[in-house]
Structure 1
Amino acid sequence: MSIQTGDKIPAVTLKVMGEKGPQDITSEEIFAGKKVVLFAVPGAFTPGCTMTHLPGYIVNADKIKAKGVDTIACISVNDAFVMDAWGKSQNAEELLMLADGNGTFTEALDLVMDGSGFGLGNRSRRYAMIVEDGTVSHLALEPTGAVDVSAAEKILALL
């Protein structure tokens, strides 16, 4: 069963780009004692993610943080090099670009999307969640192909 509102975020290690290359970051470091908006995309540089999903969070980052959010994080089943390049290409300095390269976090949430028909392999379903001190307080899971309930404007309205 996939993660639900009220569930704790699983303990996993992800990657972010550091000064000397990819570095580990644990889910506890990201979520413990913080209010976090986490949104997941099927793939960096893909059209819906690049033209619709990510830009809303970039444009609304200040408004989201003004609502008491400590971190806005974007996660994808991509490596840290790709997530870093995508973030830089989109001027996403206000966002934490998380790499779930092996899909460990996505699998732990049971939110895997089979993108093999498009040559993508297993990826993450598109969603956004509000996480407070490691517990999911809201989950907005998209149907395949949609960018609606997980859009930045919808999440901002819930904060």
Structure 2
Amino acid sequence: MQISQNQINVMSLAEQDVIIQNAIFILEQRIFRAGPCLTNPEDVKSYLRLQLANPVKEIFACVFLDSHHRVIKYEPLFFGSIDHTTVHPRIILQRALETHSAAVIMAHNHPTGIVNPSVADQRLTKRLKDLLIKIDVRLIDHFIIGEGEPYSFAEAGLI
């Protein structure tokens, strides 16, 4: 809906104020729209299972969170083959800064269905935790999605 200059000219200040207040309300709803709040591991696991249910290729994704652990953005960042994905830490750091994240949850799927972390998964997790903390972004967890219960690095004491 568009309002012409002539319509604005004949409106009272009170009518214009109502339109301005409605516009501010709409802008605030868009600007401060928050995603789901992920405050416990079960919520995160359910959320990620839906996002990474791809048995064909490995996908590495990040969930960027605000300071209240509300989802700012879920973003698949790297796509691989049936058993490997190359992850570039600088991209994760860049996206965390661009989204103004306070925290990150990393996740990837294992198309084999086996959720046990590899040595490479463990090294990557430690490296990214160490890098993210340098830019004041907390790594909350890293999940591996596969068949059955997702694997949580935090629950296993690896974060």
TM-score, L = length of structure 1 = 0.31
Q: Which has the higher strand share?
A: 1
Larger Rg: 2
TM-score, L = length of structure 2 = 0.31
Higher relative contact order (CA 8 A, sep 6+): 1
